[in-house]
Structure 1
Amino acid sequence: MSEFIHLHNHSHYSLLDGAATIDGLVEAAVEQKMPAVALTDHGVMFGAIEFYQTAKKAGIKPIIGCEVYIVTQGTRFDKEVNPKLLAAGQGRGIYQHLVLLAKNFQGYKNLSKLCTLGHTEGFYYKPRIDMELLRQYSEGLIALSACPAGVVSFHLVAGNYEPARAMAVTFKEIFGDDFYLEIQNHSLEKEKSILEGMPRLAKELGIKLVATNDIHYIKQDHAVAHNVMLMIPDASANSASDYHNLRYQTDQIYFKSAKQMCDLFKGYPGAIEHTLEVAGKVEEFDITPKKPHMPEFPIPAESGVSTKGEYLEKLANEGIEKRYKELTPVIRERLEYELSMIKRMGYEGYFLITQDFINSAKRMGVRVGPGRGSAAGSIVSYALGITDVDPLKYDLLFERFLNPDRVSMPDIDVDFADNGREQVIEYVRQKYGAESVSQIITFGTLSSRAVLKDVGRVLGVPLSTTESITKLFPVNLGKVMPIAEALEEIPELRWVKDSSDEKIQELVHIAKILEGMNRNSSTHAAGVVIAPGPISDYVPLYKTPQTELMTQYNMLDLEVAGLLKMDFLGLRTLTIIENSLRLIKENYGVEIDVYSIPEDDSKTFELFGKGQTVAIFQFESSGMQEWLRKLKPNTISDLVAMNALYRPGPM
């Protein structure tokens, strides 16, 4: 087993600052035979779920943490610069750094709460907490004093020993033996006073030292690539930057071996050993719930039933009678089978919640799509009004939607007219509480095309050159071909691989290192999460002055965290249909029900056969129009088959 464990590590979830993937961090820890490793991204917990799962799978202990921004003099609400901090060159004069590690599940919950409040209450340049919040949510957390911008270190860097001592005393009062004085050695001038002052503080105050490396990338030779990443936000086209001049003034912030760290800190007794002590304090807790956190659907008192199962059955039986003129044994058996399966899997609440907001949307005049994906295979969905497609008519399978052998939440994607989507979300907020409903984060990545353009901009490679390369990268199933694969398989790109131009070679080399890393965050176009209480009790939330409130976990990670996520898709086509129906009624006095339009209308199929399908969803591309003219479909089944086959896979 390793003699040392890395406790201060930034991944690419420290957006455009960390150049290490989660896989890279965990693989490096495994390679070094470290029994544990920490993740401490700047002010966020974006990668916590992925990190937890990846580390567990690799057989090492995940230490979930965060390097938070904290206001130690004043409050999180202050928007004024602290002159002393500004003079010391720290955090624009408005914050310092502190590393927090979750020792147990309570610590994880408290860390999540602190990360949320930093965004919702303390955001000013960065998501900031203050001493009040830290005291309130300190249970279950281990604190390290962080880097030269840390709560104790920045005083030492400024030559102010007594304020550093006072700050260390304060944090010891809060965390007791779970507060450690952090020392780092990246051969930086400002670290000298820290390396001198911290041992003195440790001796005087009885606080243990702990050695860390402020990891921002995995390998030392990734330093320039990391520096290029830092320059991406400010780089302009055709204007080369001095990208070899490292902004962080060191190439030492990589994943060093245990031996390297032991050699580096051999003059600091206990600093290495205490990394094992810290890791040993972290319990093996599970952040994935045994069952989903479902919001409670209120059963109307007038329904005459008391359980969700009974109410679901009541609504389904009432709905099925409206859907079919005659209830045959086949229909009844299918309904009973699906209801029994839904109850067995415990998803009654899911169906009740979904039918409620869909039917409420219809009552509000928001047009809803007939059904999307595997949910259309459910007769219960059809009976409840969730879908408007008869699964028996089209011989659709319920098991593709809900299968007891595949333990995962059902997934019903719902299309709303794009001009009414927000109205439906607001209804859900009103029903379950604003604190219980949130949008969901998504991350834009440095795909092969994007990273070549971004890196090219920093390196001063002409935009025309990078575009001549990136335009040749094919897209397969919605994903752009990776750089290495494209250079091997695309003959027109062979010149890039064989180029003797040093700038082109460096472009490719750096782009390969950064490829696939996160570039930015944004709001998921459709995702909405609904919790049984305040969402911040379950997962951390993210908000800046430029963004709305959203979860810090993406769609996949939210499912792992056990929260109910829904896709509320805003579809322009539905708005066009709604507007068309309204204009027909206004101008001609004719009211049309789109679901009563015959499916065998010959004039409609004539238009399809001529490829006259502009603005018809799924059929308006030039390629599809060409196939329509060739195949001349004349039934709905023909159109269904063409739509299914005209995909990147089949075609």
Structure 2
Amino acid sequence: MGFTSHPTLPWSELHRRLTGAAPDRTVVPLRRPAQEEPAPGAPAPAPGDGGEPWAELHVHSAFSFLDGASDPEDLVAEAARLGVETLAITDHDGLYGAVRLAEAARGTGVATAFGAELTIRHSSAEVEHLLVLARDPAGYRRLSAAIAAAQLAGGAKGRPAYDLAALAGAHDGHWAVLTGCRLGRVPAKLDDGTAGHQLRTLTEAFGRDNVHVELIDQWLPGDDRRNDALAALAAEQGLPVVASTNAHHAGPAQGRLAQSLAALRGRRTLQDAVGWTRAAGTAHLRSGREMAARLARFPGVRRATAELGCSCAFDFTRLDPELPGFPVPEGESEISHLRALVAADGPARFGPGNAAARRQLALELDVIEDLDLAGYFLIVHDIVDFCRSQDIWCQGRGSAANSAVCYALGITAVDPVHYKLLFERFTDRLLRLRDTRSGDSVGLPVRLYLAR
């Protein structure tokens, strides 16, 4: 397998061949079709397995770049087929697949849980993985904030800098912490005799009620010996035990794709990557019935896993964002201050006497007031002004160009009234920032703004 910027075989076709899928002759739309909401009171579809309760709590999707091989939608479809009660996606250092997991699971009968596998770097050569599940929306917010802080502290893309003490102070009982994979603090020390000490370190940091010893079963050599040792440690210290498949793809059919992604991650050909990839392709989702047989030596573990999954499952729609407020002059509200700014700057941007622009601005301001988003627009306007004062390139992104309010405030550079752009397309409210001096597209301008 060679690496080239102009492959003769498109990735979509290579992906199809590696997963054994039939050729798709349909035209793929730019947006995924919206899923129909189930009718109020309608029963959830029956699980496909109809067997033992089971939860998959340690799963990597394709958002674990070059590690997970299946999209959230494929994972949900397979979980529903297998009768899995709860499915969690725990990608590396991010909650990137959370929205798509929630959307895909709606109406399937599969409950959703959310978490991440955090990469704690002790040195350039030594890394530790910490598996964290949010117990509820508050835990999700705390986990998201901890990840964001670590990403900023790392100073480089893909190099988050976590501090175990800071994580221990962030959870407040809203996380379930699993000992994780072979790079976890406890499994990594099984051979040198310090695993027990490392497990006590975790319980001291996160509390005995929040730490779970994780047994990973992928039908691989060494699984039984490792799981026996971990179960013995848990019994010795009186800690609960759960299990997982540490799934990296939905089903066995994606095994070859997972091998290819692992080779790409290591910048090796498939031949050179032999020994670094999972030849058996067993890191996939499994049914409760199959896991009951696999875990028969560990009474109660399958049920404990299902119960933990049930306790961590919640509806993603409960995560309503709470936007920060913006300081405004005394006697004004956020929306009145925004209207004043638009009234002051609009004529210079659209030209005096532009009736069409006035009508559009009035419409948009009413919508912004109804959605309680005035504070957001004021913050973005303030960031844009700050970037200009610091000679940092700054431009509104994507469909923000469709907003007359954004144009009036100088956030965007295209007159949407003149070009008859639709404000309704303005759904992406993110800024694209470009520092002409360092090439840092977001981190430096935002850090400078916050440090004023």
Match of 2:333 in 1: 307
Instruction: Give 1:433 shift.
Output: 0.9
Q: Aligned pair 1:136/2:186, yes or no?
A: no
Q: Which of 234, 248, 260 is residue 228 of structure 1 equivalent to? A: 260
Match of 2:199 in 1: 168
2:363 and 2:217 map into 1 onto residues whose CA distance is 65
Q: Taking structure 1 as reference, are residues 285 and 245 closer, same or farther at Cα in structure 2, changes over 3 Å only?
A: same
Match of 2:141 in 1: 109
Q: Taking structure 1 as reference, are residues 35 and 241 closer, same or farther at Cα in structure 2, changes over 3 Å only?
A: same
Q: Match of 1:261, as an amino acid?
A: M
- The question of whether the paired residues in 1 share the 8 Å contact of 2:62 and 2:70 is answered with yes
1:103 and 1:367 map into 2 onto residues whose CA distance is 41
Q: Match of 1:308, as an amino acid?
A: E
Match of 2:210 in 1: 178
- The question of whether the paired residues in 1 share the 8 Å contact of 2:73 and 2:100 is answered with no
1:48 and 1:371 map into 2 onto residues whose CA distance is 23
User: What are the superposed Cα offsets for residues 175-205 of structure 1, whole Å, 9 maximum, x if unpaired?
Assistant: 3233222222334443343233233333333
User: What are the superposed Cα offsets for residues 327-381 of structure 1, whole Å, 9 maximum, x if unpaired?
Assistant: 4887766655554444334343455455556677778889999998685673x56
1:449-460 to structure 2, matched below 5 A, reads: none
2:159 and 2:380 map into 1 onto residues whose CA distance is 37
Q: Which of 176, 179, 193 is residue 145 of structure 1 equivalent to? A: 179
Match of 1:255 in 2: 285
1:123 and 1:420 map into 2 onto residues whose CA distance is 16
Q: Which of 37, 45, 57 is residue 7 of structure 1 equivalent to? A: 57
Instruction: Give 1:266 shift.
Output: 0.9
Q: Taking structure 1 as reference, are residues 311 and 204 closer, same or farther at Cα in structure 2, changes over 3 Å only?
A: closer
Q: Which of 413, 418, 423 is residue 401 of structure 1 equivalent to? A: 423
Q: Aligned pair 1:55/2:105, yes or no?
A: yes
- The question of whether the paired residues in 2 share the 8 Å contact of 1:103 and 1:140 is answered with yes
Q: Taking structure 1 as reference, are residues 409 and 252 closer, same or farther at Cα in structure 2, changes over 3 Å only?
A: closer
Q: Which of 80, 83, 87 is residue 37 of structure 1 equivalent to? A: 87
Q: Unaligned 5+ residue runs, structure 1?
A: 71-75, 81-91, 436-651
1:64 and 1:422 map into 2 onto residues whose CA distance is 33
Q: Aligned pair 1:212/2:256, yes or no?
A: no
Match of 1:462 in 2: none
Q: Match of 2:98, as an amino acid?
A: A
- The question of whether the paired residues in 2 share the 8 Å contact of 1:224 and 1:243 is answered with no
Decide which structure has the larger Cα Rg and report it.
Answer: 1
1:79-478 to structure 2, matched below 5 A, reads: 79=123, 92=125, 94-121=126-153, 127=160, 129-138=162-171, 139-156=173-190, 158=191, 160=193, 163-173=194-204, 174-235=206-267, 241=271, 247-248=277-278, 250-284=280-314, 286=316, 289-290=319-320, 293=323, 296=326, 298-299=327-328, 306-319=332-345, 327=353, 336-353=362-379, 375=401, 378=404, 384=409, 394=418, 396=420, 400-402=422-424, 409=427, 429=446, 432-434=449-451
Q: Match of 2:199, as an amino acid?
A: A
1:144 and 1:133 map into 2 onto residues whose CA distance is 17
1:346 and 1:135 map into 2 onto residues whose CA distance is 35
Q: Secondary structure at the match of 2:200?
A: helix
Q: Taking structure 1 as reference, are residues 428 and 306 closer, same or farther at Cα in structure 2, changes over 3 Å only?
A: farther
Q: Secondary structure at the match of 1:58?
A: coil
2:72 and 2:66 map into 1 onto residues whose CA distance is 15
Q: Which of 65, 69, 74 is residue 115 of structure 2 equivalent to? A: 65
Structure having the larger proportion of residues in helix: 1
1:509-520 to structure 2, matched below 5 A, reads: none
User: What are the superposed Cα offsets for residues 582-624 of structure 1, whole Å, 9 maximum, x if unpaired?
Assistant: xxxxxxxxxxxxxxxxxxxxxxxxxxxxxxxxxxxxxxxxxxx
Match of 1:502 in 2: none
1:354 and 1:52 map into 2 onto residues whose CA distance is 28
Instruction: Give 1:225 shift.
Output: 2.7
Q: Taking structure 1 as reference, are residues 385 and 66 closer, same or farther at Cα in structure 2, changes over 3 Å only?
A: closer
TM-score (norm 2): 0.70
1:350 and 1:108 map into 2 onto residues whose CA distance is 22
Q: Match of 2:423, as an amino acid?
A: F
Q: Match of 1:171, as an amino acid?
A: L
Q: Secondary structure at the match of 1:135?
A: helix
Q: Taking structure 1 as reference, are residues 18 and 342 closer, same or farther at Cα in structure 2, changes over 3 Å only?
A: closer
1:383 and 1:307 map into 2 onto residues whose CA distance is 19
Match of 1:27 in 2: 77
User: What are the superposed Cα offsets for residues 544-579 of structure 1, whole Å, 9 maximum, x if unpaired?
Assistant: xxxxxxxxxxxxxxxxxxxxxxxxxxxxxxxxxxxx
Q: Taking structure 1 as reference, are residues 423 and 53 closer, same or farther at Cα in structure 2, changes over 3 Å only?
A: closer
Instruction: Give 1:229 shift.
Output: 1.4
1:368 and 1:149 map into 2 onto residues whose CA distance is 41
Q: Secondary structure at the match of 1:262?
A: helix
Q: Taking structure 1 as reference, are residues 137 and 276 closer, same or farther at Cα in structure 2, changes over 3 Å only?
A: same
| CA RMSD, 1 decimal | 4.4
Q: Taking structure 1 as reference, are residues 172 and 419 closer, same or farther at Cα in structure 2, changes over 3 Å only?
A: closer
- The question of whether the paired residues in 2 share the 8 Å contact of 1:184 and 1:214 is answered with yes
User: What are the superposed Cα offsets for residues 206-250 of structure 1, whole Å, 9 maximum, x if unpaired?
Assistant: 2222221121122224333322211114446xx772566563454
Q: Match of 2:53, as an amino acid?
A: E
2:192 and 2:356 map into 1 onto residues whose CA distance is 83
1:370 and 1:35 map into 2 onto residues whose CA distance is 42
Instruction: Give 1:270 shift.
Output: 0.9
- The question of whether the paired residues in 1 share the 8 Å contact of 2:345 and 2:409 is answered with yes
2:309 and 2:413 map into 1 onto residues whose CA distance is 54
TM-score (norm 1): 0.51
- The question of whether the paired residues in 1 share the 8 Å contact of 2:152 and 2:443 is answered with no
Instruction: Give 1:60 shift.
Output: 2.2
Instruction: Give 1:105 shift.
Output: 2.2
1:178 and 1:362 map into 2 onto residues whose CA distance is 47
Q: Taking structure 1 as reference, are residues 340 and 257 closer, same or farther at Cα in structure 2, changes over 3 Å only?
A: closer
2:195 and 2:304 map into 1 onto residues whose CA distance is 21
Instruction: Give 1:26 shift.
Output: 1.0
User: What are the superposed Cα offsets for residues 306-336 of structure 1, whole Å, 9 maximum, x if unpaired?
Assistant: 2233333334444456578874887766655
- The question of whether the paired residues in 2 share the 8 Å contact of 1:373 and 1:413 is answered with no
Q: Taking structure 1 as reference, are residues 295 and 193 closer, same or farther at Cα in structure 2, changes over 3 Å only?
A: same
User: What are the superposed Cα offsets for residues 37-69 of structure 1, whole Å, 9 maximum, x if unpaired?
Assistant: 111223433323332333345342211122233
User: What are the superposed Cα offsets for residues 427-452 of structure 1, whole Å, 9 maximum, x if unpaired?
Assistant: 964884159xxxxxxxxxxxxxxxxx
Q: Taking structure 1 as reference, are residues 180 and 432 closer, same or farther at Cα in structure 2, changes over 3 Å only?
A: same
2:177 and 2:393 map into 1 onto residues whose CA distance is 52
